[in-house]
């Protein structure tokens, strides 16, 4: 199917799977689920995030980097060599796909930050902070180089194409993960390019998103105060960095972070008990600039769990289901039934109420 095939539906599609017992499954399931929603996208972006795929390198950061041309790779690697021990470096394994005629050069590195670097000691940076700084530096300072995955034992795979094409391109079925998310894109306000496909990741955090973050400008300026650099030309990027800031840096639990990002309306806060009202008022005031406005359904993946959540008035669809130790989430019920025909429970989460699924033990 060409990218110009008649498209009359808009809306992006997303899907996620978590095995709470940590059992790893091939990427073919998530791809099958996503392909059922092909018509929610238009071929201008698709991608996957997977957790548990690099057990042999689980202590190392796995960098997935796309380069526009060899010079970008040379500059990037020069920086990496100075600051990281590079355990392994290889071209990303890909397969030829007829419809994908243009792609960036994609490389994969398993690395560990060098501890003796003066730059780090002076700033008292821990490994995670240093990796975040590296991602921001490469993405904003080395033209044509984009780190699109930087976590441990996880990875993002994304590009311009339909979900099935991107899955074949990255040979998704050869990876085994205990959490998978996937996305098919229908870009509306921002360009469809390889770096703009979902998921958006930083360290272990990954986001796939259907909708628009209308508060992008406010959120962007807020994040910039903390040193984040927004380079990927689309709104979803802010969601990933907001979770990094709220959960990793500020130490909020996932539920509280989701509540700050999609907080209750003031009229509902007014009805709460005094102490709850005070807590919610404080959260809204402290994180006023982190509040995400606009229509969205989002899947947020991290190494210990999967979270699905909606904007406060449910302007985008989200369905969740369970079967045994597995939790499924998707834009459409049929996408779940495609890989799990008879779930034990299937429901549409309420607006602003996150579905939180975590690994056991």
Partner 1 sequence: MQVIDAKGIYYRDLNQKVREAVAKGEKEVLLKNVNGQYYIGDGLNGESTITIEGVPGNDLAAFMDGPTLIVKDNAQDNISNTMNSGKVIIHGNAGDVLGYGMRGGKLHIRGNVGYRVGIHMKGYKKQAPVIIAGGKAGDFFGEYMAGGILILLNLDGEKDSRPTVGDYAGTGMHGGVIFIRGEVDKKLCGAEVGITDPDEEDIKLLKEHLTDYCKDFNLNIDEIMKGSFKKLTPASLRPYGNLYAY
List of residues 6+ apart from 66 with CB closer than 8 A: 104, 105, 106, 145, 146, 148, 194, 195
Quick one: 55 or 341, whose CB is closer to partner 1? Answer: 341
Q: How many CB atoms lie within 10 A of CB 294?
A: 14
Bridge partners of residue 328, in order along the sequence: 17, 321
177 strand-pairing partners: 25
- Min. distance of Cβ 48 from partner 1 in angstroms? 20
Considering beta carbons, is residue 176 or 333 the nearer one to partner 1?
Answer: 333
User: Which residue(s) pair with 107 in the sheet?
Assistant: 65, 91
Residues classed as catalytic: 12
Task: State in angstroms the smallest separation of the CB of 348 from partner 1.
Answer: 5
DSSP 63-97: EEEEESSHHHHHHHHHHHHHHEEEEEEEEPP----
Residues that bind partner 1 (CB under 8 A): 9, 36-37, 39, 271, 313-314, 317, 319, 332-335, 337-338, 346-348, 350-351
Measured between alpha carbons, how far is 210 from 10 in angstroms, rounded to an integer? 10
Least distance CB 14 / partner 1 (angstroms) = 14
Closest residue by Cα to residue 262 from 331, 213, 206, 334: 213
Place of tokens 């508060």: 215
Q: What minimum distance in Å lies between the beta carbon of 116 and partner 1?
A: 55
């Amino acid at each position: 199917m060409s990218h110009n095939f008649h498209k009359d539906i808009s809306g992006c599609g997303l899907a996620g799977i978590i095995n709470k017992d940590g059992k790893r499954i091939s990427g073919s399931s998530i791809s099958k689920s996503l392909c059922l929603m092909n018509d929610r996208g238009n071929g201008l972006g698709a991608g996957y995030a997977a957790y548990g795929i690099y057990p042999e390198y689980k202590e190392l950061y796995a960098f997935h980097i796309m380069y526009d041309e060899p010079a970008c790779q040379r500059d990037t690697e020069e920086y990496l060599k100075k600051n990281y021990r590079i355990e392994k470096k290889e071209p990303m394994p890909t397969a030829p796909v007829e419809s994908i005629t243009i792609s960036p050069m994609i490389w994969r590195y398993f690395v560990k930050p060098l501890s003796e670097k003066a730059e780090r000691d002076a700033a008292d940076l821990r490994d995670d902070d240093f990796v975040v700084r590296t991602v921001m530096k490469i993405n904003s300072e080395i033209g044509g180089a984009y780190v699109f995955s930087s976590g441990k034992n996880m990875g993002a795979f994304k590009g311009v194409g339909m979900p099935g094409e991107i899955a074949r391109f990255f040979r998704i079925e050869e990876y085994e993960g205990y959490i998978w998310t996937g996305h098919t894109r229908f870009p509306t306000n921002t360009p469809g390019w390889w770096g703009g496909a979902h998921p958006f990741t930083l360290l272990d955090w990954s986001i796939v998103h259907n909708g628009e973050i209308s508060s992008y400008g406010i959120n962007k300026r807020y994040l910039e105060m903390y040193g984040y650099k927004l380079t990927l030309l689309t709104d979803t990027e802010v969601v990933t960095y907001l979770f990094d800031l709220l959960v990793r840096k500020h130490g909020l639990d996932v539920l509280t972070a989701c509540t700050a990002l999609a907080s209750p309306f003031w009229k509902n806060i007014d009805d709460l008990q005094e102490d709850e009202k005070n807590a919610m008022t404080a959260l809204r005031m402290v994180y006023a600039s982190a509040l995400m406005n606009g229509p969205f359904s989002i899947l947020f993946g991290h190494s210990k769990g999967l979270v699905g959540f909606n904007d406060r008035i449910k302007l985008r669809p989200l369905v969740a289901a369970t079967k045994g130790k597995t939790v499924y989430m998707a834009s459409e019920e049929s996408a779940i039934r495609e890989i799990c025909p008879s779930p034990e429970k299937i429901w549409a989460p309420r607006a602003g109420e996150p579905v939180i699924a975590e690994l056991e033990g």
